[in-house]
């Protein structure tokens, strides 16, 4: 199937998920995008480059899944390990036809100006370094809430010629000399700025593969948040689609289920690492934080026109037919069959994976638990029966691996 989407709207929505990693500071990528675009205008760069900077700014931290890494990036002006997430971000973007042209800029967005490789073009150096500069401006703001603009400008000026291009430093200082530059960093004004940019986007047609590549990219970001959930989203998506095909659902439903499976845990980016990796039982406060991730997935995905149904399916993967699930505690008549499939796939895949508090189970052990849940009225009996009838194949689909194919897209195997 083909999908008609505004890729600016998609990027903005997914940047919301990336910013979840900041927990209490969820506008970082938008502020970086805004500041980079404004400096670009001051330099009289083309509208195309300015537009690209908005995309790059919103995606620049796609290599960050960990709240611990985010803390270092915000708390230190020049963290020694910052290159790790830049390399990961480049790797992720290279796998998508839609975003791969931004990958080089992401790779070097924490590289010092005086250390940028000579083989890069002038444009690659300038754009990468501009993202670095405004990213550090936002970090300086986070480090000292009452920092005055002139203090931030002085710090950036101090590193002119070493961390940052002298030309870019001068342009930033001129651009930020206007008080309105800083006013736009407030949430309301920034929201309007980004909304106006999104409205300039046009609806274009994308293939299912292109949308799947973007979804796989974000699934990989979510799964990288914890060593215990590596490839969880991909396993859930693959098993969900397999089950949907066994029920001979329409191609449209099968695709929606697969995308929902890939994106179902997007809201977990808002959960602190310590909670996800906790070896013991979660306390009440931690459980409340964990239990809202389906809701947060829904909030992000339904911002995308054309994704409303996918968002709904994704958000219900912890709902149960006895109305005791979360986050909505829906009765069974409110839970669509597609969401019931994803719920079974999510539980099965999680049970066979290693988790901080237990080793992964065998497929038979996992099925036994799922069967008990079905008997207790929590899961759909038809889906659980189908799982039992195809247990080995379901296990193989739930443990699928992925690599990067020669055309830089995902190769599921």
Which residues are tagged catalytic? Answer: 268
Cα distance between residue 12 and residue 235, in whole Å:
26
Query: Which residues is 402 bridged to in the sheet?
Result: 412
Structure tokens at 147: 């920092």
DSSP assignment of 37-58 equals HHHHHHTT--HHHHHHHHHHHH
Of 93, 8, 90, which Cα lies nearest the Cα of 52? 8
Helices 67-75, 82-94: inter-axial angle, 10-degree rounding: 120
3-class DSSP assignment, residue 411: strand
Q: Which residue has the tokens 């590193």?
A: 159
Cα distance between residue 412 and residue 64, in whole Å:
23
DSSP assignment of 280-340 equals S---HHHHHHHHTHHHHHHHHHTTSTT-HHHHHHHHTTT--TTS--SSS---GGGS-HHHH
Q: Which residues contact 89 (CB under 8 A, 6 or more apart)?
A: 59, 60, 61, 62, 63, 64, 103, 106, 107, 109
- Confirm if 57 and 29 have CB atoms less than 8 A apart: yes
3-class DSSP assignment, residue 203: strand
DSSP assignment of 234-256 equals HHHHHHHHHHHHHTT--HHHHHH
Structure tokens at 73: 């990036």
Question: Phi and psi (nearest 5°) for 394?
Answer: -65, -40
């Amino acid at each position: 199937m083909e999908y008609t989407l505004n890729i600016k709207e998609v990027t903005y929505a997914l940047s919301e998920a990336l910013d979840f990693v900041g927990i209490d500071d969820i506008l970082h990528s938008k502020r970086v995008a805004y500041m980079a675009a404004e400096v670009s205008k001051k330099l009289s760069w083309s509208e195309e480059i300015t537009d690209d900077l908005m995309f790059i700014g919103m995606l620049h931290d796609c290599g960050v899944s960990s709240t611990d890494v985010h803390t270092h990036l915000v708390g230190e002006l020049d963290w020694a390990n910052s290159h790790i997430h830049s390399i990961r971000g480049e790797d992720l973007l290279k796998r998508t036809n839609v975003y791969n042209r931004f990958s080089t800029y992401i790779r070097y967005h924490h590289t010092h100006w005086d250390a940028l490789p000579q083989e890069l073009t002038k444009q690659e150096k300038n754009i990468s370094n501009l993202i670095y500069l405004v990213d550090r401006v936002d970090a300086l703001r986070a480090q000292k809430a009452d920092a005055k603009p002139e203090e931030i400008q002085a710090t950036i000026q101090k590193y002119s010629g070493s961390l940052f291009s002298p030309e870019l430093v001068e342009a930033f200082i001129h651009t930020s000399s206007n008080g309105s530059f800083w006013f736009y960093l407030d949430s309301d004004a920034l929201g309007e700025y980004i909304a106006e940019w999104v409205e300039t986007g046009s609806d274009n047609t994308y293939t299912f593969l292109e949308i799947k590549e973007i979804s796989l990219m974000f699934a990989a970001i979510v799964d990288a948040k914890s060593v215990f959930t590596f490839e969880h989203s991909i396993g859930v998506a693959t098993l969900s689609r397999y089950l949907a095909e066994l029920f001979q659902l329409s191609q449209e439903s099968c695709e929606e289920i697969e995308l929902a499976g890939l994106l179902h845990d997007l809201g977990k980016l808002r959960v602190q690492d310590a909670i996800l990796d906790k070896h013991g039982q979660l306390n009440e406060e931690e459980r409340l934080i964990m239990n809202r991730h389906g809701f947060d997935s829904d909030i992000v995905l339904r911002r995308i026109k054309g994704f409303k149904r996918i968002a709904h399916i994704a958000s219900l993967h912890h709902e149960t037919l006895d109305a005791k699930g979360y986050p909505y505690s829906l009765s069974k008549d409110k839970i669509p069959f597609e969401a019931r499939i994803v719920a079974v796939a999510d539980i099965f895949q999680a049970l066979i994976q290693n988790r901080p508090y237990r080793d992964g189970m065998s497929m038979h052990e996992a099925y036994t638990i799922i069967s008990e849940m079905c008997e207790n009225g929590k899961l759909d009996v038809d889906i659980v029966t189908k799982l039992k009838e195809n247990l080995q194949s379901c296990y193989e689909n739930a443990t699928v691996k992925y690599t990067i194919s020669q055309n830089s897209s995902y190769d599921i195997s």
